[in-house]
Amino acid sequence: MSVTLAEPVVDAAVWPRSTRAHGGDLAVGGLPLAELAERFGTPLYVLDEQHVRDTCRAYRRALPGVEIAYAAKAFLCRGLVRWLREEGFGLDVCSAGELALATSAGMPGERIILHGNAKSADELRAALRLGVGRIVLDNPAEIARLAALVAPRRRQRVMVRVVPGIEAGAHHAIRTGGEDQKFGLSIARGDATDAVLRTVAQPHLELTGLHCHLGSQIGSVRPWLAAIGTLVRFLAELRDRHAIVLPELNLGGGHGIAYRTGEHALDIESFAIDVRRQLARQCALYELPVPRLIVEPGRAVTGPAGVALYRVLVVKRTAHRVFVAVDGGMADNPRPALYGARTTVRLVGRPGAAQTRRVTVVGRYCESGDVLAPDVDLPDDIHPGDLLAIPAAGAYQQSMASTYNLVGRPPVIAVHNGNTHILLRRETIEDLLRRDGDTDTDTSAT
């Protein structure tokens, strides 16, 4: 049922663009969140299709002529692949599963980039069979292994992932551009040069350029500007010392978003202007042709488009805290437990009391660390049965979800102009039992 839309909510920076206040509720994509929770159950992920498409178009406007590959690890399903394909995006994938899903949903192989610091032989074979546009080489052993798998009289386009020695990102676990971590090959140590020379010596491999990824949830363009200086200098060294000129440069992703009121997302227009200006300036300094740019946003595309909905099960008051326990938690959103991530929490579905109380929102799982949101302000009359909404939930939540305690993963529902579409259905107890090899077990009680 569609609703009459009111003015946008005050903290619209962290909610999908279609979000509107509707009494004590919020509507996304023209549908009240409370209605969606009643219809599909909770926990529930709601994804605003128009927000995703608008973000894709914003990237295309800001970066004309730049290849944009969505980072599939942020969140992936067939419906999303269709949206991305229609909006002119490619995909970066890092497993045979992501690759299979992408191609089954109609993404052309040539628009796919395969990543991974430890790709299996089967994954490399699948990438060759499906004709992926590029395979990113992450270690020396992979070079000969891949070359040996390429069919006679064929060539596979590849890139070498390099480490520019620049760390960026909101948490140490998601910083990938510095030395001494598992991704890429060091420029400073000479490992990157060695990989480039080994690759160009393989007749079945075509080296198109360099790849780097600095980290995730980066809110400033400055780390990329510094990385470009290092990367272009390295490109010039390859030309001057080895007569190798590479036509492509992939700067990866990591574009930050706002999770709480007052936070700022990476401004894609400023990013585009500053990065292209820096690249042109550095290439002119070394008299190099400007390589074709590739970027790989993931979180920035789907993160702000998503809302997670939870039902309150328990309100427990202890000597020093008020715990609000919901029907989801760390299994469907591990980011707070993994990274100490902080987020916005809002009561929806009814007007709350004017007075608020500081509470800690926790999950239903058997871990003391199952905390979704510590020390957030919610209406003082919060009680079991209430509905809580967490915005900026479209990335690195459903994709990282598990079945801990044998609880099925939540569904993902797309909303658009008052209509819904199930992107991923809820995982049931029957789904979980089907994986168990003991087929003689009596499951009639379930």
Q: Identify whether the C-beta of residue 158 lies closer than 8 Å to the C-beta of residue 206.
A: yes
- Per-position b or e across 72-96, b if 16+ CB within 10 A of its CB: bbbbbbebbbebbbebebbbbbbbb
Q: Identify whether the C-beta of residue 72 lies closer than 8 Å to the C-beta of residue 94.
A: yes
Any bridge partners for residue 46, and if so which?
307, 413
- The active-site residue out of 77, 212, 283, 366 is 366
Element (H, E) at 83: helix 78-86
> What are the angstrom distances between the C-alpha of 293 and each of 14, 171, 184?
29, 26, 19
How many degrees, rounded to 5, is the angle at CA 233 between CA 230 and CA 238?
125
Residue 178 CB neighbours (<10 A): 19
> What are the angstrom distances between the C-alpha of 236 and each of 184, 241, 399?
19, 8, 39
Would you list the DSSP string of 143-186?
Answer: HHHHHHHSPTT--EEEEEEEE-S---SSSGGGB-SSSSSSSSEE
Q: Do you know the residue count of the chain?
A: 446
> What are the angstrom distances between the C-alpha of 351 and each of 335, 346, 347, 381?
29, 11, 8, 10
Q: Identify whether the C-beta of residue 243 lies closer than 8 Å to the C-beta of residue 237.
A: no
Cα–Cα dist 60/51, whole Å: 14
Establish whether 94 is a catalytic residue. no
How many degrees, rounded to 5, is the angle at CA 51 between CA 49 and CA 56?
100
Outline where 201-324 has alpha helix (H): 222-242, 268-285, 299-302
Extract the runs of DSSP E, i.e. beta strands, from 338-379.
Answer: 346-348, 356-362, 371-379
Helix axes 268-285, 222-242, angle to 10 degrees: 30
Cα–Cα dist 397/75, whole Å: 8
Cα–Cα dist 75/393, whole Å: 10
Residues with a known catalytic role:
366
